[in-house]
A and B are shown apart, each in its own frame.
Chain A
């Protein structure tokens, strides 16, 4: 499939191409940016162990002055279209995500898709931000690899944003250098009018200066695509962090459950043996107001024993869940790492290719200009 953009409004048309002989009921349909967001949020909650591909930016960021920060700017909209298409391609090529039914119907089902997503009740499954934050601070024994990964994603985010900011400033300055040369054209032309021998050389040199000045527009537009490639990985950093957070949350949950179980076992033991090892309000009040009857104690012990059994089962399953999560998350992270290394290397190569092309254009223009100057 591919995305085409229609009108200047925020609708994008997803067109499904022949896909393994599957007949889709609708060949193309319209989706708003907000629906893409909904899809992604659904995927985030449903596949917490997957590094979910990011969406392109909603608002234009890291712009340099020539590029407008206007969200309706056709160049920006076009780049956003490419970004959204890229997002869908990423999801479609992911071994796990591509199988999801909601994703499939995003591409094929015109009406009622939104309702369908909401019916899955995924919003309820979402972890609260506060809960996650709490877990991050209090977890005692997270898997070291996830801690390292979190640091890496912080570094990646920081360095890419810095790079994009400076790149935008460099682009701005480069634009200035090229455009100022355009001023030569007119002056040379006017000057050539009073010169006899120098006139022709001046005039033609001026023309080449105009060409030089104009060439920067295409050069910088191409560079925007490079910037977009970097931006994707800037946003991927957040997706990495989301997986780490999920792990921390699960680990914290596990630790809390284990702690709870231990304390219940202890309580049970104390009741059974009558020794108070830890301070408890109950213990104090019973000392002050008299001990409980043996029947009361028996009842309590029974309840606790039930809870302990439940707790042990829960702990077992949480442990299993946690280990499964770590295993599958790490597998996806390895997949992601390879993809990232490949993509970024390609991006750097394409940057070099762009620079080479820019240099070649410069050489051509200045060779021509030099010839004109030498005829002055």
Chain B
């Protein structure tokens, strides 16, 4: 594809700021993932499976790809990958595209909490994050056409192993990049220190805030879960009580049923949080870790090609995505809460209606102004 060549050319040669970039590669760079009509590659990660060998135990995930792209021999692929394979892919992408923002992978180990390495919760969280990782790549105008990405999605296990062992191709590309960087620095290329400073300042604050948000979101989840646990016990007491009563047995059972329904509703609310907000915020915590620019010149040159339009474009794209993701994640939280309160409201209102129907025309209805 012509645009693929253009982009890689653009990257290799764009250390001089005045290099024109072909229009078609521009289109690719500014394409956003919220335009499903343009998507021609769909990836899912699911079905974690445990494998036990003599040496180790590990989990593989099923990666399903559906595509209409010409360069794929088939339109559907199903392979199994383990975490190591994802790590490999990430490092290949970082090597090939040093100026682009590569999406983060979920952590290797979980330090905090008492989540066991292979607990269901851990595996599910990781699976969701791996799914996100591949989708970020698939939706990226440049990364989506990366050759290693294609191999990752399509190769059988033995094919991938042998491909991984290939070295030379990478080194030569790596060498080219390093040489280009060195020449740009030596050549006194006009860097854009203001842009770098701006990005760094932004990321410092962003990183700080997103980490706090991460903690808050987890804390809210924890509190909601504790509330749910107590609520589970609350309803049944009313049912128990109704067994010793006659006249008020129905009212008590009614209250018990309302509480149980609200309990279920709060469980849904919790699930919504863990499916949406928590993973998104956590992904951005990881993003902020890789985007935090260190003061070492070496890292600086690797990641922040100040003169590089590609990075600037990618940076803008990242910010756009972040805005979109945050907006939709928090809107989703609001929706979850609205749904929760509306469900509870309906439950209690119907209980109230049932009580005041057979209420013997008491004071409250007469005293109402």
Residues on A lying within 8 angstroms of B by beta carbon are 152, 155-156, 159-160, 162-163, 166-167, 169-170, 172-174, 176-177, 180-181, 183-184, 187, 190-191, 193-195, 197-198, 201, 205, 341, 344-346, 348-349, 351-353, 355-356, 359-360, 362-363, 366-367, 369-370, 373-374, 376
Contacts and interface: CB of A to CB of B under 8 A. Distances in A.
Interface residue tally on B, bucketed by range: 35 or more
Contacts of A348: 248, 251-252, 254-255, 355
Contact of B330 (A167, A169, A181, A376): A376
Contacts of B234: 163, 166-167, 170
A159 B244 contact: yes
B91 to A, nearest CB: 31
A198 B326 contact: yes
A245 B12 CA distance: 97
B216 A366 contact: no
Given A345-B355, A356-B345, A374-B331, 5 more contacts: A163-B234, A173-B226, A201-B327, A345-B247, A360-B345
Contacts of B245: 341
Given A159-B244, A184-B216, A194-B206, A166 B352 contact: no
Given A163-B238, A187-B213, A376-B323, A349 B352 contact: yes
Contacts of A356: 345, 348-349, 352
Contact of B342 (A176, A187, A191, A363): A363
Which of B262, B348, B351: most chain A Cβ within 10 A?
B348
A373 B280 CA distance: 15
B258 A355 contact: yes
Contacts of A162: 237
A170 B227 CA distance: 6
B112 to A, nearest CB: 18
B338 A345 contact: no
A367 B342 CA distance: 11
Interface of B: 201-202, 205-206, 209, 212-213, 216, 219-220, 223-224, 226-227, 229-231, 233-234, 237-238, 240-241, 244-245, 247-248, 251-252, 254-255, 258, 262, 323, 326-327, 330-331, 333-335, 337-338, 340-342, 344-345, 348-349, 351-352, 355-356, 359, 362
A194 B262 CA distance: 39
A193 B327 contact: no
Nearest to B216: A183
* Those 7 A-B pairs whose CB atoms lie nearest each other, nearest first: A370-B334, A359-B345, A173-B227, A362-B341, A341-B247, A376-B327, A176-B223
B258 A194 contact: no
Given A173-B223, A359-B344, A376-B323, A187 B237 contact: no
Contact of B206 (A184, A191, A370, A373): A191
A170 B244 CA distance: 24
A170 to B, nearest CB: 5
A205 to B, nearest CB: 7
Which of A169, A190, A205, A366: most chain B Cβ within 10 A?
A366
Contacts of B334: 366-367, 369-370, 373
Contacts of B202: 194
Nearest to B238: A163
Nearest to A198: B323
Contacts of B238: 163
B162 to A, nearest CB: 47
Given A374-B327, A376-B326, A166 B345 contact: no
Given A356-B345, A359-B345, A376-B330, A187 B355 contact: no
Contact of A349 (B220, B223, B356): B356
Contacts of B337: 362, 366
Nearest to A170: B230
A357 B245 CA distance: 28
A335 to B, nearest CB: 14
Contacts of A181: 220
Nearest to B219: A180
A194 B326 CA distance: 15
A160 B245 CA distance: 12
B7 to A, nearest CB: 27
A180 to B, nearest CB: 5
Contact of A176 (B205, B226, B237, B351): B226
B238 to A, nearest CB: 7
Given A194-B202, A356-B348, A163 B335 contact: no
B237 A163 contact: yes
Contact of A344 (B212, B248, B342): B248
B341 A366 contact: yes
Which of A174, A176, A352, A356: most chain B Cβ within 10 A?
A352
A355 B229 CA distance: 19
Nearest to A182: B216
B287 to A, nearest CB: 15
A226 B13 CA distance: 75
Given A345-B355, A349-B356, A187 B338 contact: no
A197 B324 CA distance: 11
Contact of A370 (B212, B338, B345): B338
Which of B326, B341, B344: most chain A Cβ within 10 A?
B341
Contact of A166 (B219, B237, B362): B237
Nearest to A172: B230
A176 B226 CA distance: 9
Contacts of A345: 247-248, 251, 355, 359
